[in-house]
């Protein structure tokens, strides 16, 4: 089953790369972006693909901050749980020894 998932992932990645390349080839109209200090001329497909990649990277960055906060919260909760379990064991042993 694991090999099947890996194969499906590879096929999907190859398909996405192929579609992106077709997109770049078909959208070859030049588009000039005027930055305040320079101009950059690339094809329309390249600009759209670049904007998609930049947006995906920004999304991954924002998701990673949330992921790191959740990992920190999980670590704190595990620490609190172990302290509570130790306190519970102490209570059990103290009530049994009476």
In the chain, domain spans = 2-73
Q: What is the pLDDT of residue 11?
A: 95
The CB density around residue 45, as the number of other CB atoms within 10 Å, is 19
pLDDT attached to residue 69: 95
**Which positions ≥6 away from 47 have C-beta within 8 Å?**
31, 33
pLDDT score recorded for residue 21? 85
Per-residue pLDDT of the chain (98 residues; tens, 9 = 90+): 888 999 999 999 999 889 888 888 888 888 888 888 888 888 888 888 888 889 999 999 999 999 999 999 999 999 999 999 999 999 888 877 66
Distance from C-alpha of 67 to C-alpha of 44, rounded to nearest angstrom: 34
């Amino acid at each position: 089953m694991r090999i099947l998932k890996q194969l499906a992932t590879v096929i999907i990645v190859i398909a996405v790369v192929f579609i992106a390349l077709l997109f770049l080839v078909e959208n070859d109209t030049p588009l000039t972006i005027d930055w305040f200090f320079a101009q950059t001329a690339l094809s329309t497909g390249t600009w759209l693909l670049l904007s998609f990649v930049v947006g995906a990277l920004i999304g991954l960055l924002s998701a990673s901050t949330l992921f790191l906060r959740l990992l920190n919260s999980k670590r704190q909760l595990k620490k609190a749980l172990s302290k509570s379990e130790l306190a519970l064991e102490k209570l059990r042993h103290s009530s049994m020894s009476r």
